[in-house]
């Protein structure tokens, strides 16, 4: 059952109304894409049965625009008003309230957009943060909006101006970066049906995170050499087209070993930049985008990305150690043959996480831990064909396994590990 909620009609003869663009997550949470504005009713449609004809107009326009009425549960009718709907009256009213709020957000965004230079935003931030007072013992952590970024424009100037003019008044600066195989936002590509070239493009784009962390970090170091201000990567992950047959507004997508490689590469980078990156949030946890868990009613599967997080959790609360690899990059794909990070836990154990992003080539590894003799406590690996994934029909073929064939030697006071890192894999080795 669909229930409608109609706003007051406009008391004007003529008014031009554009669709409401998506300018924020509140809009995206409730409406997939822009909220359309349909044409005026004709004189004949008004005089015959304008309420019924309004409904016919909305239905026909949504069919013409190929929009899902449940993914975009609202519309503007030119020279008339707004309509919203839902599965019951309560949801219809709720969507009407959300429509009003996102319209206000869009209006204010359009109002300030021509003036939104970083200097202007820095002044706004300083103004409003002054009213956020500290009450009680729990410290308020103030985070400023960071730069808009993409592979063609890291937008270092935004960070430069904000750190110069407002850095003393913030505790963190946000950074968003999503990985998409395609540059066409309306056709980002399939989560499961992709070519090897698309696989490699996705991983190269994921590695652009290194450029962002190093570049923005260098600007922040200029004004904050003590690294007091955190770089907060509060949205990252892969973004593809939604799964066929699902509500496009829910952003549901499957998760393959390609996504596991994105997670492994990215988490290694976060670990290596832990002096500045002190918060990082994958988008999102359950069912949405690069989720770690997928559910269907009472059923649940753990994604390849989940297993990477499980492997890498050993770094949490540990101390970053200097590490490097010398095997270089694959010339054909432009991807590193191996990427790594390492840390020491409070109990003295040492762990390294490694990623081999190659779709088909294994890498023979020799890992040297200098200045100490330790024993292998655990060696684990997540590996699979690039399209491999877990789902409700076939189960969970993608699982963490023991990494076989790890040889340990003590040479000249150093610990040497020799093993083979499979293609498309993430591994963790722990020494004690």
For residues 71 and 139, membership in a common domain is answered with no
For residues 127 and 57, membership in a common domain is answered with no
| pLDDT recorded at residue 296 | 92
Q: Is residue 18 a contact partner of residue 78, using CB atoms and an 8 Å limit?
A: no
| pLDDT recorded at residue 354 | 97
Closest by Cα among 64, 76, 89 to 31 = 76
Categorize the per-residue pLDDT at 6 as very low, low, confident or very high, splitting at 50, 70 and 90: low
Greater pLDDT, 385 or 21 = 385
- Report the distance separating Cα 377 and Cα 352, nearest Å: 12
What pLDDT, in 10s, does the model give residues 101-140?
Answer: 999 988 877 776 666 789 989 999 999 999 998 888 888 9
For residues 61 and 111, membership in a common domain is answered with yes
For residues 132 and 187, membership in a common domain is answered with yes
| pLDDT recorded at residue 112 | 65
| pLDDT recorded at residue 5 | 55
Greater pLDDT, 25 or 226 = 226
What pLDDT, in 10s, does the model give residues 89-101?
Answer: 999 999 999 999 9
Q: Above 50 in pLDDT, residue 9?
A: no
For 194, the token pair is: 């992709």
| pLDDT recorded at residue 220 | 97
Greater pLDDT, 249 or 15 = 249
- Looking at 80, 115, 150, the residue that finishes a domain is 115
- Looking at 115, 144, 168, the residue that finishes a domain is 115
- Concerning whether 391 is annotated as a catalytic residue, the answer is no
Report the domain count for the chain: 2
The residue segments making up the domain with residue 111 are 3-115
For residues 251 and 150, membership in a common domain is answered with yes
Categorize the per-residue pLDDT at 10 as very low, low, confident or very high, splitting at 50, 70 and 90: very low
Burial class of residue 82 (count of CB atoms within 10 Å of its CB; 0-12, 13-18, 19+): buried
Sign of CA dihedral 49, 50, 53, 55: negative
Q: Above 50 in pLDDT, residue 13?
A: no
Q: Above 60 in pLDDT, residue 73?
A: yes
Question: What Rg value do the Cα atoms of the chain yield, rounded?
Answer: 26
Task: Give 376's strand partners.
Answer: 431
For residues 111 and 167, membership in a common domain is answered with no
Q: Which of 16, 131, 135, 184 is catalytic?
A: 135
For residues 314 and 340, membership in a common domain is answered with yes
For residues 142 and 71, membership in a common domain is answered with no
For residues 399 and 410, membership in a common domain is answered with yes
99-113, 177-191, 396-410, range with greatest mean pLDDT: 396-410
The average confidence (pLDDT) of the chain is 90
Mean pLDDT for 9-21 is 56
Q: Above 50 in pLDDT, residue 15?
A: no
Q: 5-14, 203-212, 302-311 — which is least confidently predicted?
A: 5-14
Q: Above 70 in pLDDT, residue 264?
A: yes
For residues 357 and 296, membership in a common domain is answered with yes
For residues 27 and 59, membership in a common domain is answered with yes
| pLDDT recorded at residue 12 | 37
| pTM of the entire predicted model | 0.81
For residues 424 and 324, membership in a common domain is answered with yes
- Concerning whether 252 is annotated as a catalytic residue, the answer is no
Q: Which of 16, 18, 23, 29 is catalytic?
A: 29
Hey, how many other C-beta atoms are within 10 angstroms of the C-beta on 404?
9
- Report the distance separating Cα 34 and Cα 223, nearest Å: 39
Mean pLDDT for 36-63 is 88
- Looking at 98, 115, 132, the residue that finishes a domain is 115
In the chain, pLDDT over 90 holds for what percent of residues?
69
Q: 97-101, 223-227, 427-431 — which is least confidently predicted?
A: 97-101
Query: How far out from the chain centre does Cα 77 lie?
Result: 34
Q: What is the CATH number of the domain that holds 182?
A: 3.20.20.80
């Amino acid at each position: 059952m669909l229930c409608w909620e109609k706003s007051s009609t406009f008391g004007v003869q003529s008014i031009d109304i554009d669709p409401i663009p998506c300018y924020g997550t509140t809009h995206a949470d409730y409406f997939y894409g822009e909220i359309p504005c349909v044409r005026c009713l004709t004189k004949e449609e008004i005089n015959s049965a304008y309420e019924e004809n309004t409904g016919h107009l909305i239905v026909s326009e949504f069919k013409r625009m190929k929009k899902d009425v449940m993914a975009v549960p609202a519309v503007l009718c030119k020279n008339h008003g707004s309509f919203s709907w839902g599965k019951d009256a309560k949801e219809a009213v709720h969507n009407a309230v959300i429509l009003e709020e996102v319209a206000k957000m869009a209006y204010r965004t359009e109002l300030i957009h021509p003036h939104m230079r970083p200097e202007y935003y820095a002044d706004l931030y300083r103004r409003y943060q002054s009213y956020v007072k500290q009450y009680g013992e729990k410290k308020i952590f103030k985070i400023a909006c960071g730069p808009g970024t993409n592979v063609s424009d890291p937008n270092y100037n935004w960070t430069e101006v904000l750190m110069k003019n407002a850095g003393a008044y913030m505790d963190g600066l946000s950074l968003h970066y999503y990985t998409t195989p395609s540059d066409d936002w309306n056709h980002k590509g399939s989560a499961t049906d992709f070519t090897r070239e698309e696989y490699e493009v996705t991983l190269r784009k994921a590695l652009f995170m290194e450029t962002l962390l190093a570049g923005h970090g260098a600007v922040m170091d200029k004004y904050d050499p003590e690294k007091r201000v955190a770089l907060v990567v509060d949205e990252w992950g892969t973004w593809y087209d939604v799964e066929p047959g699902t509500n496009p507004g829910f952003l549901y997508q499957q998760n393959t070993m390609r996504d596991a490689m994105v997670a492994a590469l990215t988490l290694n980078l976060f670990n290596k930049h832990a002096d500045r990156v002190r918060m990082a949030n994958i988008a999102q946890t359950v069912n949405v985008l690069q989720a770690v868990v997928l559910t269907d009613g009472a059923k649940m599967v753990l994604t390849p990305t989940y297993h990477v997080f499980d492997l890498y959790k050993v770094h949490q609360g540990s101390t970053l150690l200097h590490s490097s690899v010398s095997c270089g990059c694959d010339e054909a794909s432009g991807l590193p043959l191996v990427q790594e990070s390492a840390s020491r836990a409070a109990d003295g154990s040492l762990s390294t996480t490694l990623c081999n992003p190659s779709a088909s080539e294994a890498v023979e590894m020799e890992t040297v831990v200098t200045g100490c003799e330790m024993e292998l406590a655990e060696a684990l690996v997540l590996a699979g064909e690039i399209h491999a994934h877990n789902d409700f029909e076939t189960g969970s073929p993608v699982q963490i396994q023991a990494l076989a064939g790890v040889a340990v030697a003590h040479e000249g006071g150093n610990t040497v590990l020799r093993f083979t890192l499979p293609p498309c894999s993430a591994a963790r080795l722990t020494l004690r």
